[in-house]
């Protein structure tokens, strides 16, 4: 009985380690695919802001645009995976 419990815990632990959140992969695909223009604008803004020693500029608008694009692209694909 003790061996059976140990085996079940081991198998369940192995299964949990193999789980991959499909949302992360889907969002990454959207960021590199249909949202690549928004990502490029965000990267350009980040480079510009990081290149200045003193600035009040932020990339708030660019990051909102990027996240909106990724969420809009990924949502229907993610919900397809929901059981």
DSSP 54: S
Tens-digit pLDDT profile for residues 43-65: 999 999 999 988 899 999 999 99
Q: pLDDT tens digits for 5-32?
A: 445 555 555 555 556 788 999 999 999 9
Closest CA to 66 of 28, 44, 45, 36: 36
With a CB cutoff of 8 Å and minimum separation 6, the contacts of 41 are: 62, 65, 66
């Amino acid at each position: 009985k003790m061996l059976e419990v140990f085996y079940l815990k081991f198998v369940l632990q192995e299964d949990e380690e193999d789980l991959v959140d499909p949302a992360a992969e889907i969002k990454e695909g959207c960021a590199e695919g249909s949202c690549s223009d928004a990502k490029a604008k965000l990267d350009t803004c980040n480079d510009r802001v990081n290149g200045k020693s003193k600035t009040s500029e932020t990339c708030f608008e660019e990051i909102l645009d990027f996240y909106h694009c990724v969420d809009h692209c990924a949502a229907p694909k993610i919900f397809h995976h929901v059981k």
